[in-house]
Structure 1
Amino acid sequence: MLRILLAGIWLFLLSCSTSSIGGDARLRGVGQGSDLLWTEAQSRKARLDNVAYTLKVDLTPEGDEFLGSATLNFDLKDPAQALRVDFFEGRVTRIEINGQAQPLTIKKDYWVELPAAALKAGANTVAIDYAQKYSRTGQGLHRFKDPEDGQFYLHTQFQPFDANRFMPCFDQPDLRATLKLQVTAPMKWQVVTATMETSKKASGSHQVWDFPPTPKIATYLFSLHAGPYQMMRDQYGDVPLRIFVRPALAKYLNSNDWFMITKQGFRFFENYFGVKYPFKKYDQLIVPEFSFGGMENVAAVTYTESSVTRSNPTRRQRRGVAGLMLHEMAHMWFGDLVTMAWWNDLWLNESFATLMSSIAVAQSTEFKEEWQGFAANLKRWAYMQDAMETTHPIEAQVSRVKEALANFDGITYNKGAAVMKQLRYYMTETAFRKGIQDYMKTYAYKNTTLPDFIGSLQAHTQKDLTLWADSWLRQSGTDQVATNWACEGDKLKAITLTMTPSKGAQFRPQALEVGLFGLKGDRVVALKQVRAELNGPAPLTLKGDWACPDFVYPNNGDHAYVNVKLDPNSLKLLETRLSDIQDLLVRSLVWNDLWRMVRESELPLKNYVAIVERNFQRETDEIILQQVVGTVGGGSSVLTYWPVDSDEQRAARTEFVRKFETDFLARLKLTSSGSDGEKFWVDNLIRFSETPTGLDAMAGWLKANRVSTRMPLDPDRKWGIVRQLVRFNHASANEAFERLKAEDRSDRGAKSALAVEAITPAAEVKSKWVNEITSKTASRPLEELQVVAYSLFPQEQDALKIKYEPAFFDYLAKNKNSEDEARSRTVIQGLLPLRCETKASVKLKETIEKDRDINPMVLKSIKMSLEEDERCQRIRRSF
């Protein structure tokens, strides 16, 4: 799934018994709610085989429910105990077991409990008729109403445990099953699932769609999407390719680009994995109010509508979409064809797809700069999360499904991918690829565990991968590498590499490449690269006939997963010559290192600001420019950490912002009209501006409806401008807001208007929204709630937030373990009473330490925000 989001996993409890537990005690775990225990899943797996579902779904009734009729066929080994069928809430109207009617009371809140007396050894058939509400939270079958045309659009999202919000099923990944589907839908709708329909028949004003059975796949990979989507077609060999998008967005979608990337991905993955695409068609759906970046439903991948811009996308945006597309495509093999047995191995699923998407983007598309983007963005996120107290081993314990969600994060996706990249270098690319091919062929349409994956790789290397797995997957944190080097005359005498494990960790073997760099005129150029393998904790000394460098970088090529401690000589050079390094990847890596040093209080913020001021104006690479701007403005940035206690500090911060706005505007004037460069500076001015220098310029663009002759303002950039004008009380703000609301009546426009209203710096506005989002009757779709909650209190409005601290603590107490965890987590994050100030953080910390009953996902999000707030306080103190 995704490439945006934020949560991940690994298990497991080797101390837990794997014997069959079953029975009523397990079925009714105290306080379990809509959850599934690993022990429960193991027990059920031991009893069941040959699961097949037949499902009829009627999407035509008016109101907020759809109708379903499910038939479950399965072989049962032990009929002596009751059997749980997962089914979240819903309204059941008929239950039959082996032809015998059952009392509806066997339907509990979150499952149907099949009584032992009705079951038999061998083949069983269960039939359940039901009605279920459409989702507004992105879980199960989600329904969206387009404000422009009044039409409904549906999509499903089942990972990790939400297929049972759609249909009664055994909702765990190792109970692979077939699904035969029949759907009744309005006449003009498209209906899409894992297989291509075999027939469509009119039935009055409706149409009945019949789909053949799927292959045996995990329940979280089932899907159903429906609505008056616009369809586009293409072909890859004998595989039909289709794209579905709302008509309102279709005019903005470059389908040729999407199909080109799709075909490039198919060619690459079929060759890399040594296995043909395993399914019979490939659909991609861009769906409204999607909660993630993408989801790898078998042969029916879903994407967020934010992957489509309402203007010509920049190269950077196109590269991001290509990465998202190829991440989900990689899952067709790794995740869909071969599936993890339990959610402890979700990290392997996601990290592998993240790595493979970057390999595919770099090798099969035009975006050869992908590895620089990987380092500047994905890997930096991994390092940041790995430095936090909430970090965890890549292989995290998952004793129940909700623990899986709590670790859906930068460790799962990005550290996992970075460590896989490191393993690929450590054992060589050829050996790694052969091992992957063996894995795909051996375990097709099966469920696997980590030892299966490691075993496939081990057959192709002499490296001890069991030791590697123990070292890298079961320890948290990031090791640090330091270099010590000296020259004799114009020759390098030696380089010594010293690795320091993270707190509490043991040595982790890995290979890296040491880069030697020297000054050549006004450039810093590469002199030599030396591969080094660190197979033990002792310092490693490298010697050779090498010219004396001016700068040594011990992670050249970004193969290692490690924090680089810059030696004093190199750091001194970088302070003034960083933008002169010719190797763009190394330049990106050094900027990452410097920002990490700020966050870890190894480099004072004012020193980092000085490095930025000396190097930024001479920087020309867009990835690095965006990387640096990202550290200067936005969340967890220079402007966040800048102390504002005194008038002098506030004035210095304002002047720093004004200087940056002035620089942005000056560089904007040097770009070509309509170019990516022009869009880059415009987008960052929209993001960054808060003084009259930037705000007045943006107000002028809005009035003219364009930035330049070839860059008219698209609706999304207009909303970004209006948001900043309202946020900072510009004189033109209110008029511009009202005009844009009337102009853009799309769904995206309506949500943007909510964000603008919520960010308005007025006490009465804050009261209105706080009261609404904390109300028991709050019913907005999750996406709208997120827009409001995350816009309410930007940093400069902390004073307005103080009065709502009682509302926050009251909401937390009442919703800390809500079944609607996505909604409650959103409200809690939006109202967190943190403002880079000790008193507030101490109170929150005391509250969560006393309360042991907070939902794991909610608790983790609070802890991460709390730690970030404490980091802000430390950095301000040492400014």
Structure 2
Amino acid sequence: MLKTHFLLFLLINAAALNAYTAVEDSLTESGVSEALARQRAASLDSLSYAVHFIIPEARQANISAELELNFLLRDTTTALILDFKAADGAVSDIMLQGRSVPWRTINGHLVIPARLLTAGKNRLQISFTAGDDPLNRNENYLYTLFVPGRASEVFPCFDQPNLKARFTLTLTLPAHWTAVANGPLQRQTTSGDWQTWSFAATPPLPTYLFAFAAGEFQRISKTIDGHELEMYHRETNISKLARNSQAIFGLHASALNWLENYTGIDYPFQKFAFVLIPDFQYNGMEHPGAVLYRASSLLLDESATQRQKLGRASLIAHETAHMWFGDLVTMNWFDDVWTKEVFANFMAAKIVNPAFPDIDHRVRFLLSHFPPAYAVDRSAGANPIRQHLDNLAGAGSLYGAIIYQKAPIVMQHLENRLGARAFRDGLRDYLRKFSYANATWPDLIAILDQRSDEDLRQWSHVWVEEAGRPRLRTVLHRTEDRIAGLSLLQDDPAGQGRIWPQKTTLLLLRQGTDLAFSTDVSAASTPINEAIGEPIPQCILPDSSGLLYGEFIPDSTSMAFLLRAIDTIDNDLWRASAWLILYDNLLNGTIPPEQFFATLLNGLHKESSELICNTLLRTLRTLWWRFLSADQRTHFAARLESLLRERMQEAGEQSFKALWFNALQDVVLSEEGVAWLFSVWSGATTVDGLTFSQRQYTRMALELAVRPGQNSDSLLTAQLARLSNPDRRARLQFVMPALSTRKAERDSFFISLKNPARRTHEPWVLESLRYLNHPLRAAGARHYLRPGLELLRDIQKTGDIFFPKRWLDALFSGHTSPQAAAIVRQFLEEHPDYPERLRGKILQSADLLFRAARLQRPRDAGD
């Protein structure tokens, strides 16, 4: 009898499998195709997931799980297709309406035949073994990270942003573990060595925002202005925790209050908790009720720089802004992922202002957003803000500086065109209309367009749908010592004839009174008639507001002034803008590196703004390692180190001192300078006014280890012995082989990175890769370039969203030679059909390498 029933089951199952249509097969390509997403969005409604994970303490042990999925179904003519990218045999049973049903597994999908479906309410129950990678399992803790489409690597789901659902989570864990999730804890029960945590159902969320963390965490809670805030952490340094906690909680509370006031909507989720993860892949991730942060981004050292303090405040404001922009209202498809990121960054820039009243926030906005956006837009791999996406599998490649840094600049332009009040009121309408739902960029533009006399759709096209930036220059006609005519010219470097409309205030710098002329740059040539008859200026700057976007080519008189006397520009915003202009002209080959270096040294000697100093020191690192030859570095080392030590000693604030010290340890080369740094690391020398953490001592040890003449093995072993925190010890142990004096050990370490399991801790991998390719070892690291490029597609497949670009940045970081550039170009030539966005990432990351190789004269370069 049992045999007969089994044969009957096989016959039924076979008949069901043969019933799949060609249409259904076309929807089951790997990933989530746009076609599948549209079909499901039209067919499904009222989703809820109840998931139970049983998680053993042993990292290698399987995680058993149960899922109940309830939904309304409109279309029963097409098979039900869920996403589940798990190992073969991971699903043990599927029940629909309480009865076991057959299913097919194909290309990371579970397919249930259409004939078994019922219009209306459906209840699906699945028993399965959970996938592992996005659970980020460590020795005694784990955390989920599902963005953009990795939830389906862990449990069966409809893994697309416009199928929001309510999630009810149950976790069965080792009894000594703690757990935190999106929803509030409802109950907690203990049975022997196990403890079960049951969390309340969430408001509607997309799958990428469903999250939990569990393990050996400590909890701190505070209530500020009616908001109960919870922090989970693993920090063992009690003084560091105490020193930072007040600021961390206070910044969250301030951000919540500001956003509630600006949006007119109370915090839209049930609770606000955040988890500090050691070496988290990102700086932060906005899961409502369970925000994840990189611990070191919030728990700052005592000598944290102004930039690091601002960065912490901006990060907290960014993730908090996401609760409204991204979580409450979510993009319909990941081609509009930029809309959540632009508002998070744009709002963050507004939120942090009151917390830092002594800072010129216009300068900060300029220096935080323009350089990284320009770095992409000047490259051959430039991409538009809004990019087409035909499959969710490629969504990670959409992320980058254009959506995080250029988009807020564009949004600032939009706010200026509408007016701050009209812009805010439009956003309020948008948030109310699409609360707990999904929206597109055209949805928002349609709302804002009603509040403007301009055609915002047309304005949006070149800024949002097109890549690149304009090239700007001034043309001045003179009659003796007076202006006879002045125009601002705009052209398209790509030769497509595009015009980027924007407002600017042209600035004429003169001895005595400077002159400013406001204009709308909306044509190839914009005359500045008001300037006619004015005396010839010393210098013309294209903008006094810090918002004009583009490459500016100064006239010869202005260029000579900036190279000679940029430090005499009193206004911080104008001076910061001028530095960006000079850097652009270094990279385009107009200014020789040695001449730029002389101007930069003079600027560093006199600059008083910590914000501008930070940018100049970052520019110094690039110039020093990429555009000066090894001989030039040797020649200038003592002079540069003396300047940096002098500025460090005279700096008043500890944060300002740390800025100079950090730059010094990154560029130090002279025998005397290296000996001094070693003396600081060993404790034989102290730096007045600076206190170093173990993290900073580790950084010193790493920089010393890569300098010639150092015994890196003994030095790093000594530093390892100093560390007591297990997470910091594990990181250093991982990185150490990348700094070995033995080339064979370094090569073996690089080869080990081909194994995805070795790339689990992405920040560790990136730090190691940077030291493998350090400029002082670049000539012996060139052979990593080709295999590193060949790994890129696997890195995209197995890593998180920022990892491919950061891998490339680290891989190319120390290389400047024509030989290295040729390896990259050859790889691209040999792969003409390489995925377009990954190709773009390679071109973006290799841009400085290509420019350095072109500028390089025959010389004894470090690479």
TM-score, length basis structure 2: 0.90
Candidates 767, 785, 791, aligned match of 1:787 = 767
Distance in 2, Cα, partners of 1:299 & 1:812: 36
1:248 paired residue number:
236
- Report the alpha carbon displacement of residue 675 of structure 1 after superposing the two structures with TM: 1.9
* 1:322–1:250 distance in 2 versus 1, CA, 3 Å: farther
Cα gap change, 1:557 to 1:247, in 2 (>3 Å) = same
AA matched with 1:642: L
Change (3 A) 1:850 1:50: same
Return the match for 1:670 from 650, 655, 663.
650
The aligned residue for residue 6 of structure 1 is: none
For the 8 Å contact 2:80–2:111, the answer to whether it is kept is yes
Match for residue 27 of structure 2?
27
Counting only pairs closer than 5 Å after superposition, residues 175-324 of structure 1 correspond to structure 2 as 175-248=163-236, 251-253=239-241, 254-307=244-297, 308-324=299-315
Distance apart, 1:743 and its partner CA: 1.0
| Among candidates 348, 353, 359, match of residue 368 of structure 1 | 359
Once the 2 structures are TM-superposed, how far is the Cα of residue 827 of structure 1 from its aligned partner?
7.0
2:518 matched to 1:531?
Answer: yes
Counterparts of 1:433-582 in structure 2, within 5 Å, are 433-485=424-476, 495-503=486-494, 504-519=496-511, 527-543=514-530, 548=535, 549-582=537-570
Please give the alpha-carbon distance, in whole angstroms, between the structure 2 residues aligned to 1:594 and 1:442. Answer: 46
Structure 1 residues 496, 268: CA separation in 2 closer, same or farther (over 3 Å shift)? same
1:95 matches 2:87: no
| Partner residue in 2 for 1:123 | 121
CA distance in 1 between counterparts of 2:274 and 2:219 reads: 10
Distance in 1 between the 2:780 and 2:96 partners? 59
CA spacing shift, 1:856–1:544, aligned 2, 3 Å: closer
Q: Distance in 1 between matches of 2:439 and 2:679?
A: 59
Task: Tell me by how many angstroms 1:96 deviates.
Answer: 0.9
For the 8 Å contact 2:27–2:33, the answer to whether it is kept is no
Corresponding residue for 1:719?
Answer: 698
Give the equivalent residue in structure 2 for 1:10: none
Give structure 2 stretches of 5+ with no counterpart. Answer: 1-20
User: Secondary structure of 2:160's partner?
Assistant: coil
Residue 633 (structure 1) aligned with residue 612 (structure 2)? no
Bigger drift between 766-775 and 342-351 goes to: 766-775
C-alpha displacement at 1:108, in angstroms?
4.1
Indicate conservation of the 8 Å contact 1:789/1:826, yes or no: no
Distance apart, 1:237 and its partner CA: 3.8
1:15 corresponds to which residue?
none
Q: How far does residue 119 in structure 1 lie from its aligned partner after superposition?
A: 1.3
Out of 506-515 and 841-850, give the one that drifted further. 841-850
1:69/1:129 contact within 8 Å kept: yes
* 2:13 alignment partner in structure 1: none
1:807 is displaced (CA, Å) by: 5.3
Q: Is the 8 A contact 1:496 1:540 kept in 2?
A: yes
Instruction: Find the counterpart in structure 1 of residue 748 from structure 2.
Output: 768
In 1, the alpha carbon distance for the partners of 2:672 and 2:398 equals: 42
CA distance in 2 between partners of 1:844 and 1:192 (Å): 44
- Structure 1 window deviating more from structure 2 (54-63 vs 570-579): it is 54-63
d(CA) in 2 for partners of 1:215, 1:821: 26
In structure 2, give the amino acid aligned to 1:124. Answer: N
CA distance in 2, matches of 1:834, 1:733: 19
SS at match of 1:748: helix
CA contact (8 A) 1:98 1:119 kept: no
What SS does the aligned partner of 1:143 have? coil
* Residue aligned with 1:388, SS: coil
1:305-384 matches, cutoff 5 A: 305-307=295-297, 308-363=299-354, 365-366=356-357, 368-384=359-375
Per-residue CA deviations over 1:736-755 (Å, capped at 9, x if unaligned) read 32221111143224323443
Q: 2:641 — aligned with what? A: 661
Q: Which residue of 2 aligns with 1:684?
A: 663
> Equivalent of 2:71, from 64, 71, 74?
74
CA offsets per residue over residues 460-487 of structure 1, 9 Å max, x none? 2212101111221122111123234567
Tell me which residue corresponds to 2:17.
none
The CA deviation string for residues 98-140 of structure 1, in whole angstroms up to 9 with x for no partner, is 211134x6344622112212211111111111222432xxxx2
Contact 1:435 1:458 in 2 (8 A): no
* Cα-to-partner distance string for 1:331-366 (whole Å, 9 max, x where unaligned): 111111111100110112112211111111124544
Given that 1:194 and 1:222 are in contact with CA atoms closer than 8 Å, whether structure 2 keeps it comes out as yes
Q: What is the aligned partner in structure 2 of residue 841 from structure 1?
A: 821
Post-superposition offset of 1:321: 0.5
Whole-angstrom CA distance in 2 between matches of 1:475 and 1:804: 34
What are the superposed Cα offsets for residues 228-274 of structure 1, whole Å, 9 maximum, x if unpaired?
21112122444311111114256423111011111211221112222
Shift of 1:74: 0.9
Could you tell me how far apart the structure 2 residues matched to 1:112 and 1:285 are? Answer: 33
Partner amino acid, structure 2, of 1:284: F
Partner of 1:592: 580
* 8 Å CA contact retained: 2:231, 2:274: yes
**Which one of the candidate residues 419, 432, 438 is aligned to 2:410?**
419
Q: State yes or no: 1:612 paired with 2:600.
A: yes
Task: Summarize the Cα distance change of 1:827–1:271 in structure 2 as closer, same or farther, 3 Å threshold.
Answer: closer
* 1:519 counterpart SS class: coil
CA–CA separation in structure 2 for the residues paired with 1:652 and 1:229: 50
For the residues of structure 2 that align with 1:443 and 1:828, how far apart are their CA atoms?
Answer: 38
Could you report, residue by residue, the CA deviation over 1:504-550 in whole angstroms, capped at 9, with x for unpaired residues? 25112211222343335xxxxx7344332223334232416997443
Residues 494 and 276 of structure 1, relative CA distance in 2, 3 Å threshold:
farther
| Per-residue CA distance 1:45-90 (angstroms, 9 max, x = gap) | 1111111111112224644332221111111111122121111215
Aligned sequence identity (%): 23
Q: 8 Å contact 2:486–2:531 — kept in the other structure?
A: no
Structure 2: which amino acid aligns with 1:740? Q
Deviation, structure 1 residue 845: 2.6
Distance, in Å, in 2 between the alignment partners of 1:22 and 1:516 is 68
334 and 803 in structure 1: CA distance in 2 versus 1, 3 angstrom threshold: closer
CA apart distance, 1:309: 3.0
- In 2 relative to 1, CA 199–491 (structure 1 residues): closer, same or farther, beyond 3 Å? farther
Q: What number of residue pairs does the alignment pair up?
A: 829
The answer to whether the 8 A contact 2:161-2:330 is kept is yes
Which of 104, 107, 110 does residue 108 from structure 2 map onto? 110
Give secondary structure in 2 for the equivalent of 1:335.
Answer: coil
Q: For residues 58 and 312 of structure 1, do their structure 2 counterparts lie closer, same or farther at Cα, with a shift above 3 Å needed?
A: farther
Distance 1:610 1:343, change over 3 A: same
Spell out, residue by residue over 1:788-838, the C-alpha distance to the aligned partner (whole angstroms, 9 max, x if none): 2332121221232245567557x5499588556878887777666994344
1-structure distance, mates of 2:628, 2:476: 35
Task: Rate the CA distance shift 1:705–1:336 in 2: closer, same or farther, 3 A.
Answer: farther
Checking the alignment, whether the CA contact within 8 Å between 1:605 and 1:638 is kept in structure 2 is no
Partners of 1:157 and 1:817 lie apart in 2 by 15
Distance 1:462 1:806 in 2: 53
Distance in 1 between residues matched to 2:813 and 2:686, nearest whole Å: 39
Cα distance, 1:250–1:132 mapped onto 2, change above 3 Å = farther
The root-mean-square deviation of aligned C-alpha atoms, in Å, is 2.9
Which ranges in structure 1 are unaligned for 5 or more consecutive residues?
Answer: 1-20, 146-151, 521-525, 644-649
Q: State whether residues 406 and 856 of structure 1, in contact with CA within 8 Å, keep that contact through their aligned partners in structure 2.
A: no
Q: Residue 851 of structure 1 corresponds to which residue in structure 2?
A: 831
Matched, 1:428 2:419: yes
Name the stretch that deviates more: 850-859 or 691-700. 850-859
Q: Does the 8 A contact of 1:761 with 1:797 survive in 2?
A: no
Q: List aligned pairs for 1:678-827, cutoff 5 A.
A: 678-704=657-683, 707-708=686-687, 710-731=689-710, 733-746=712-725, 747-774=727-754, 778=758, 781-802=761-782, 812=791, 815=794, 819=798
